[in-house]
Amino acid sequence: MTDTQKTAQLSLNGETYELPVFSPSVGPDVLDIRKLYAQAGVFTYDPGFTSTASCDSTITYIDGEEGILLHRGYPIDQLAAKSHYLEVCYLLLYGELPTAAQLEDFETRVTRHTMVHEQMHNFFRGFRRDAHPMATLVGVVGAMSAFYHDSTDIADPWQREVAAIRLIAKLPTIAAMAHKYSIGQPFVYPRNDLDYAANFLHMCFSVPAEQYHVDPILSRAMDRIFTLHADHEQNASTSTVRLASSSGANPFACIAAGIACLWGPAHGGANQACLEMLKEIGSVDRIPEFIARAKDKNDPFRLMGFGHRVYKNTDPRAKVLKQSADEVLELLGVENNPLLQVAKELEQTALNDPYFIEKKLFPNVDFYSGIILEAMGFPTAMFTPIFALSRTVGWISQWKEMIGDPQNKIGRPRQLYLGETARDYVDIENR
């Protein structure tokens, strides 16, 4: 934490309290209110955490007004263009871009952890075939703490490291198994001769009956999607992982909690919901009807893939994904995909509509990703599992940062209580 010279004064009930002010490397100052309740006997109130910093961190910085996203200081558009997912994983986990030797060692360690315990295959067979893959992912990842006991002691730095590598390595295998299980095809083992993205495509799309050739175009697009979803500051699912970890729960249980939170349509579930919305709209001439619904306060409908708690200008990831959608669909020969046309027309219509302009609603990371994933052959139910496997490195990096912080303590918010004050029990005959 930076040494603070600045303070803020709070006048309350005739008293004045001095609050330390901390200045970040970049971004808004923060008021340190840790002693506020002890000194002034009051809580602060911020249900959606719109103005609350839950921690300090050195991993990811977002500037919502400027549409900036930095991972350890490197802009996301540069990482998407010049790096690749496992290198970004190294950067997020260890803070610096790796040397060639460090990267080779890291990639080898991840590659050698991609298989899951053979007993886990039986675990899958307890689910219904039509279970949503996110339900399977939550269950199987949580169950990893029942298979990998030698990497659950969070007090042991070596076990923390092994758990991190295991989660990054095994999430694609587990997500691919959830997909295969849902379509009644046999599980496909990972291959050590394939890179991370190619291996995932292989485990999802190859079948024993014939050779599967990984298309390098799809593999590059897959890797870019992983990179664009890797981490995003203190979003809902990352905050869930941090809060779960603050009680000392094992990393597998905490990541399972993050997966559960990500599933919601307001968060990572928006990519599936967005594609379903685009299909419901169906053609550009129905766009005005849906724009009107999105603006109607009496209609719960929202434009999925639009809006963001932090980005009030543009989501830099959406820009890269829009370019990638054009490239991938053209390379796949489906550039005239009607969904892409509807998405582009919807974006232009919304961006020129006073309602969306005034409320600063722009396409977010989930607006174009589904179009690419569908063109690559994934069912919509696999979109959020792909988001989850991509975000695992972000969750784990934030988890490592928190567990390694000596100031780390259990998260325990308070409340504004509006319920009944104390009253005596009433016997049932008197009610």
Q: Name the one range near ligand SDX by CB under 6 A: 180-188, 356-364, 377-385, 396-404.
A: 356-364
Q: Name the one range near ligand SDX by CB under 6 A: 37-45, 96-104, 301-309, 395-403.
A: 301-309
Phi, psi (rounded to 5 degrees) for 11 = -100, 125
- Which one of residues 347, 366, 374, 401 is an interface residue with ligand SDX (CB under 6 A)? 366
Give yes or no for residue 232 binding ligand SDX (CB under 6 A).
Answer: yes
DSSP 380: G
Least CB distance to ligand SDX at residue 201 (A): 23
Rank residues 251 and 258 by Cβ distance to ligand SDX and give the closer one: 258
Rank residues 203 and 275 by Cβ distance to ligand SDX and give the closer one: 275
Give yes or no for residue 361 binding ligand SDX (CB under 6 A).
Answer: yes
Q: Name the one range near ligand SDX by CB under 6 A: 90-98, 148-156, 304-312, 331-339.
A: 304-312
Active site residue 308: yes
Give yes or no for residue 359 binding ligand SDX (CB under 6 A).
Answer: yes
Q: Which two tokens stand for residue 85?
A: 């997912």
Rank residues 302 and 344 by Cβ distance to ligand SDX and give the closer one: 302
Contact yes or no for 128/136 (Cβ under 8 A): no
* 89, 92, 98, 101 alpha-carbon torsion, rounded to 10°: -40
Active site residue 405: no
Distance between CA atoms of 187 and 205, rounded to whole angstroms? 10
Distance between CA atoms of 324 and 103, rounded to whole angstroms? 26
Single out the catalytic residue among 113, 229, 232, 308. Answer: 308
How many CB atoms within 10 Å of residue 184?
7
Rank residues 191 and 309 by Cβ distance to ligand SDX and give the closer one: 309
Contact yes or no for 268/169 (Cβ under 8 A): no
How many CB atoms within 10 Å of residue 367?
29
- Which one of residues 124, 290, 306, 378 is an interface residue with ligand SDX (CB under 6 A)? 306
Site track 255-284 with ligand SDX (rule: CB under 6 A), x = hit: -----------xxx-x--------------
- Which one of residues 365, 389, 396, 403 is an interface residue with ligand SDX (CB under 6 A)? 365
- 319-337 in b/e form (b: 16+ CB < 10 A) is bbbbebbbbbbeebeeeeb
Sign of CA dihedral 194, 199, 205, 206: positive
Size of the site for ligand SDX (CB under 6 A): 22
Q: How many CA atoms lie within 13 A of 252 on its CB side?
A: 24
Distance between CA atoms of 96 and 92, rounded to whole angstroms? 8
Distance between CA atoms of 171 and 180, rounded to whole angstroms? 14
Rank residues 287 and 303 by Cβ distance to ligand SDX and give the closer one: 303
Site track 43-82 with ligand SDX (rule: CB under 6 A), x = hit: -----x----------------------------------
Distance between CA atoms of 371 and 369, rounded to whole angstroms? 5
CA angle 397, 403, 409 (to 5 degrees): 130
Q: Name the one range near ligand SDX by CB under 6 A: 12-20, 101-109, 296-304, 331-339.
A: 296-304
Q: Which two tokens stand for residue 179?
A: 């997909």
Residue 357: helix, strand or coil by DSSP?
helix
Give yes or no for residue 305 binding ligand SDX (CB under 6 A).
Answer: yes
Rank residues 117 and 279 by Cβ distance to ligand SDX and give the closer one: 279
Q: Catalytic positions, please? A: 308, 366
Residues that bind ligand SDX (CB under 6 A): 48, 232, 235, 266-268, 270, 294, 302-310, 359, 361, 364-366
